[in-house]
Amino acid sequence: MKFFAAALTALISLNAFALEVGDQAPAFELPASDGNTYNSQDFIGKQAVVIAWYPKAFTSGCTVECKSLAMNGHLIEEYDAAYFMASVDPLEDNTRFAEENDAKFPILSDEDKTVAEAMDVLIPVIGVASRVTIYIDIDGNIAFIDDDINPATSAEDIAARLGELNTPKA
C-alpha cells in the first residue's frame, strides 16, 4: 500500500508540471452542471478563468473543496474572473454533486478526458484528474498552476491568488 501511495504521489507531481506558466492555455469547450457549455474562447480578452480540477465527485476531499467554493465563492466573485470546478466525471454525476453541495458555480465535465490531458492534470494510470487549480489570465495564458491545494480553504486560497496575480476587481 505504501508503494502505491508513493507511486501515485509521484505521478501526480510529475503530471502537473508539463504545462507551464506563460503557456497558452489549452482550449476547452465543456458542458457544466448548470446546463450551459463553456468555451475558453468566450473569456479571452474579457475575463480571467480559474479551473479547480478534482479527482472524483462525492469523495471526501472533493466534497470539502466543493463546499468551500459554495460557501465562500463570494470572495472569488470580488475579482473579474470566471471560476469552475472540473473533473472527468459524467455530467450527470457532476450535476448531482453540484446540487447536493449547493454549488452556485458551474462544475465542468470532461468525460472524454481530452481537456484534462491537454492541461496535464490527468492521471492516466487511474483515469482521474489531479487536484490542481489552473489560473488563466485575460489573454488566455497560464498565470499560475497550484498543485498544493487545501480543500477546506480552496475558495479563500483562490481569492488570495487572484489578488496576488493582480486580477482586476469585479
Query: Among residues 25, 62, 129, 136, which one is catalytic?
Result: 62
Measured between alpha carbons, how far is 168 from 118 in angstroms, rounded to an integer? 27
| Residue 18 confidence (pLDDT) | 82
Identify the segments of the chain with pLDDT beneath 50: 1, 3-16
For residue 118, which amino acid is it?
A
- Reported as a single tens digit per residue, the pLDDT across 48-59 is 999 999 999 999
| Residue 17 confidence (pLDDT) | 53
| Residue 110 confidence (pLDDT) | 98
CB of 140 closer than 8 Å to CB of 56: no
Domain boundaries of the chain, sorted by first residue? 23-165
The total number of residues written for the chain in this structure: 170
What torsion, rounded to 10 degrees, do the Cα atoms 111, 162, 26, 90 define?
0
Topology of the domain covering 23-165: Glutaredoxin (3.40.30)
Q: Is 62 a catalytic residue?
A: yes
Measured between alpha carbons, how far is 108 from 144 in angstroms, rounded to an integer? 19
